[in-house]
Amino acid sequence: MRGKNFKVRFFIFLAVATFAFLRKCSQEEVNPYTGKKQAISLSPDEEITIGLQSLPNMEQQHGGLYPNEQYQNFVDQVGHKLVNNSIAKTTPYQYDFHLLADKNTINAFALPGGQIFITYALFSKLENEDQLAGVLGHEIGHVLGKHSNERITNANFWKVLAMGSSAIDLGSVAQQYGQGQLLKNGRGDELESDDLGVKFMIDAGYNPEEMIGVMQILKTAAGPNRVPEFQSTHPDPENRIEKIKASIKKYRNQ
């Protein structure tokens, strides 16, 4: 009897796994902005909804917005200059740029649909407008790269395997962003966003070499005890610099 029950459970699992796999394959499409084939389950409107729902929580976690209207306007100006001079302008996303009050966490990140953040801790270390453009261009790259969408789709694939449910609860996804569970990008996503950021900088008239300066700032901030690349989801800054140099050469020769 026990063996029979095991067989029944096994065939149920096999059926669910087959359904999940076929469903994920059916979601694969070519990203029109990068040419990369990805499993995508959310429409642009759904991405925007998740980003807007997650926005208040993300601001609260980092102490709200930095209380300097001049600095915020500067971030807005650079961010929208990048958008308006690149392929980002042709996308349906709603780009908003937020300078967070957090003076301790050196970070920048993007939510699905175009909500982009930079902490004051990182902003205060940047040496010029071009470096700010490098940071924001990289984050715009995450939005166009649909990296969050792909991550949500992959997470839902495992949810289907575990629970047999295929529906995506946008409110639950937004809550996971608020808890930081879906913010981490893989190494490939980071490198792709660096590449796109270089292109956006060149298109907007910024000096792309300054993105190398940003990498140096991140390397210095991490200190001598930074996590080795193979243990981290982010590529080592030195490796990113080499890739950035290759991207600069590629786009300048186009």
Residue in the structure block whose two tokens are 């042709």? 90
Phi then psi for residue 38, to 5 deg, are: -140, 155
State the average pLDDT over residues 233-247.
82
Distance CA 250, CA 4 (A): 61
254 vs 109, more confident: 109
Q: What's at 239, amino acid-wise?
A: N
SS3 for 143?
Answer: helix
pTM for the predicted model, two decimal places: 0.78
Residue range 31-61, pLDDT digits in tens: 888 888 888 888 999 999 999 999 999 999 9
Cβ atoms 134, 206 nearer than 8 A: yes
Phi then psi for residue 124, to 5 deg, are: -70, -20
Domain boundaries, the chain: 36-252
Q: What is the mean pLDDT of the chain?
A: 81
pLDDT in the model for residue 228: 45
Residue range 71-90, pLDDT digits in tens: 999 999 999 999 999 999 99
Distance CA 177, CA 182 (A): 5
> Residue 239's pLDDT band (boundaries 50, 70, 90)?
confident
Listed in sequence order, the residues at least 6 apart from 236 whose beta carbon sits closer than 8 Å to its beta carbon are 228, 229
Percentage of residues in the chain with pLDDT exceeding 70? 72
Alpha carbon 230 to its chain's center: 20
Distances (CA, A) of 125 to 90, 103, 213, 220: 32, 11, 11, 11
pLDDT in the model for residue 191: 92
Supply angle C-alpha 65, 116, 188, rounded to 5.
140
Cβ atoms 51, 114 nearer than 8 A: yes
Cβ atoms 51, 42 nearer than 8 A: no
Element (H, E) at 115: strand 115-119
pLDDT in the model for residue 144: 94
Distance CA 34, CA 144 (A): 8
Residue range 139-174, pLDDT digits in tens: 999 999 999 888 887 665 445 445 544 445 545 554
Residue range 186-210, pLDDT digits in tens: 778 899 999 999 999 999 999 999 9
Alpha carbon 197 to its chain's center: 12
Element (H, E) at 84: helix 69-84
> Residue 129's pLDDT band (boundaries 50, 70, 90)?
very high
21 vs 122, more confident: 122
The tokens describing 16, both together, are 């669910």
